[in-house]
Amino acid sequence: MFIDNCLLVTEKALNLQKIYSEKMLLENLEKLAKDKQKENKKFFQRLKKRTPKRLDLVMQELHNKEFKQTDCLTCANCCKTTSPIFTEKDMERIAKHLKMKVVNFKEQYLRVDRDDFHVLKTAPCPFLDENDNMCFIYDVRPKACSEYPHTNRRKFIQIADLTIKNTEICPATYRIVEELKKKLS
Report the residue from 59, 135, 176, 177 that binds ligand SF4 according to the rule CB under 6 A.
135
Helices 2-49 and 171-184 cross at an angle (nearest 10°) of 70
Helix, strand counts (H, E) of the chain: 8, 4
**Residues 55-74 as x/- pattern, contact with ligand SF4 by CB under 6 A:** ---------------x-x--
Gyration radius of the chain's alpha carbons: 19
**SS3 assignment, position 169:** coil
Residue ranges in 72-131 that form contacts with ligand SF4 under rule CB under 6 A: 72, 75-79, 84, 125, 127-128
Closest contact distance (angstroms) between CB of 123 and ligand SF4 is 9
By beta-carbon proximity to ligand SF4, the closer residue of 10 and 108 is 108
Closest contact distance (angstroms) between CB of 72 and ligand SF4 is 3
Closest contact distance (angstroms) between CB of 4 and ligand SF4 is 33
Residue 101 and residue 99: Cα distance in Å, rounded? 7
Contact 163, 173 (CB under 8 A): yes
**SS3 assignment, position 105:** helix
Binding site residues, ligand SF4, CB under 6 A: 70, 72, 75-79, 84, 125, 127-128, 135, 137, 141-142, 145, 148-149, 169-172
